[in-house]
Amino acid sequence: MQLFRFGSPGRERPAVQMPDGRRLDCSSFPSDFGPEFFATNGLERLHTFVRSHADTLPAVPADVRYGPCIGRPHKLFCIGLNYRDHARETGATLPAEPVVFAKATSAICGPNDDLMLPRGSEKTDWEVELLVVIGKTARYVERAAAMDHVAGYALHNDYSERHWQLERGGQWVKGKSFDTFAPIGPFFVPKEQIPDPQNLDLWLTVNGKQRQKSNTREMVFGVADIVSYLSHCLTLEPGDCITTGTPAGVGLGCNPPEYLKAGDLVELSVQGLGTQRQRVVPYAESR
């Protein structure tokens, strides 16, 4: 069973996709898929609810909008330079510890929503990533116990405006947090359905051309390492999201660099987590 949210922005409703492909509207379930859901044993409660009501729950129409599969989390952290091939293409030295930065949760949007170019942007870049969702509070957790605190996974495109990220000084959060720069979903997949998060294929295309193709085994720091590391410098709460880095093939790594422009189509996937599709639109068009 995979979890998703559907409906207009800000009014999304919870739903599940069953193993047989049925998509069931779970609006009558007492909570959305946000921090409170994960903090109150939501996955087990949802399984019980679906088992009891599967025959009576309405079907989700085929043409609905997918919202972000996680309702607004308290925190969205990112790990930079976490793929060996990406570090090589950007000329960076492999980090000795995870490179951690934050992304504003206001950037979160649905997996197929338009990507809105920031006003005046000329260096907006793509980054396919595996996103981890925390299931229970993690504080000073050792690596061996870290996966006990993971609820599951989703697909994320960590869009970056390189001028604001790298050329304006200060921290990276500025170039990472524009509206629509964090599409998440379509599905949240419980960790039991992903036996090994360190062996997942991931890819991204722009206008049908392959740009990124790799596997999560190329990570410098794996999921357990990252969760443990973060828990030693802050408290991870249920529903918090951590996006784990991107492989080689970003626009910044091209020679010369290539960036997105209005009209482009970006498609991406992580094995077992579904596919995203974003049309690039100029700032004025989205107002």
Tens digit of pLDDT for each residue in 29-59? 999 999 999 999 999 999 999 999 999 999 9
pLDDT digits (tens, 9 = 90+) for 110-123: 999 999 999 999 89
Residue 86's pLDDT is 82
* 287 pLDDT more than 60: no
Q: State the Cα angle at 70 between 214 and 157, rounded to 5°.
A: 30
pLDDT exceeds 70 at position 222: yes
- At 111 the pLDDT is 98
CA distances from 107 to 58, 63, 95 (A): 31, 24, 26
Mean predicted confidence (pLDDT) in 169-192: 96
Residues 68-91 have a mean pLDDT of 92
Q: What local confidence, expressed as pLDDT, does residue 286 receive?
A: 52
- What is the overall mean pLDDT for the chain? 96
Residues 112-125 as b or e (16 or more Cβ within 10 Å = b): bbbbbbbeebebbb
- pLDDT for residue 63 is more than 90: yes
**pLDDT at position 57:** 97
Domains of the chain: 2-53 (no CATH), 76-286 (3.90.850.10)
Nearest to residue 260, comparing CAs of 159, 180, 177? 159
Q: Specify the pLDDT at position 85.
A: 84
